[in-house]
Amino acid sequence: MMPSNALYTDLSGFYDLMCCDINYPAQSNTVQRLHQLLGNGGKTHLDLACGTGPHIRHFIDYGYQSSGLDLNQPMLDLAKARCPQAHFMLQNMCSFTLEQPVDLITCFLYSIHYSANIAELNQCLASVYAALNAGGMFCFNAVDKDKICNNSAVRHSTTHDDSHFVFESLWHYSGDGEQQALKLRIARTRGENVQLWQDEHPMVAISFARLQALLSPYFEVHILAHDYDKISPWDTTSGNALFACVKR
């Protein structure tokens, strides 16, 4: 087992392979449409936990002046190569500051859960609020701790540089407390050689009711279905949702 966050540090070059099945254009387009509908009309954007910058690439193409923030310098190096027009910052999303506020802040791929506990999550929300212009929007996706299925793994495979990769990810919640785990496993096969990496990331566990209560003092909260093909209300039963939050 590698130490927490070691996978992203040591395997940052494989991150895009690990996420190769993610529909970045659809995700970016949905949030851009939400910002047009609910936001302040501005064109400055910050992506929290931006990784290698694939979402930022699309927001730049939409005409935004984009920036990215991450805790991992190797990720930021790859993001800068992908998006040389963007500005990147090595900061913790739970306690970040900006020199100038922005109009849109995004946090994709459930990265809002990288807060260690609810106190840090609330600190993250306060940082986001302070970093937004009037009428700015914060958009992210989240999972409800009470609806996590501990046996439901997501698995996909791909081939790169004469190697076959199999990626697995799994949410796990014990049923008690403020932490859940994101369990990751990578298998790389090249010829007869098989390499295995495993990692477990502690992440904040929270119900949607509690999350909405944390957001409400700062934002007008819209909870939407986790569907990047259409914009529709959350059905109140799904364990995944997209949050569009407009600064009060």
Q: Could you read off the pLDDT tens digit of each residue along the chain, which spans 248 residues?
A: 344 445 555 556 677 777 777 899 999 999 999 999 999 999 999 999 999 999 999 999 999 999 999 999 999 999 999 999 999 999 999 999 999 999 999 999 999 999 999 999 999 999 999 999 999 999 999 999 999 999 999 999 999 889 999 999 999 999 999 999 999 999 999 999 999 988 888 999 999 999 999 999 999 999 999 999 999 999 999 999 999 999 99
Please report, for the chain, the start and end positions of each structural domain, with discontinuous segments joined by +: 14-145+205-247, 147-204
Residue 70 CA to residue 137 CA, distance in Å, equals 19
Strand partners, 224: 233, 242
Q: Output the pTM of the full model.
A: 0.92
The span from the first CA to the last CA of the chain, in angstroms, equals 44
The whole-chain average pLDDT of the chain stands at: 93
Domains 14-145+205-247 and 147-204 agree in fold = no
Class of domain 14-145+205-247: alpha beta
Residue 104 CA to residue 17 CA, distance in Å, equals 27
How far is the CA of 47 from the CAs of 30, 55, 99, 172, 196, in angstroms? Answer: 15, 8, 15, 26, 31
Tell me if the domain spanning 147-204 has CATH number 2.20.130.10.
yes
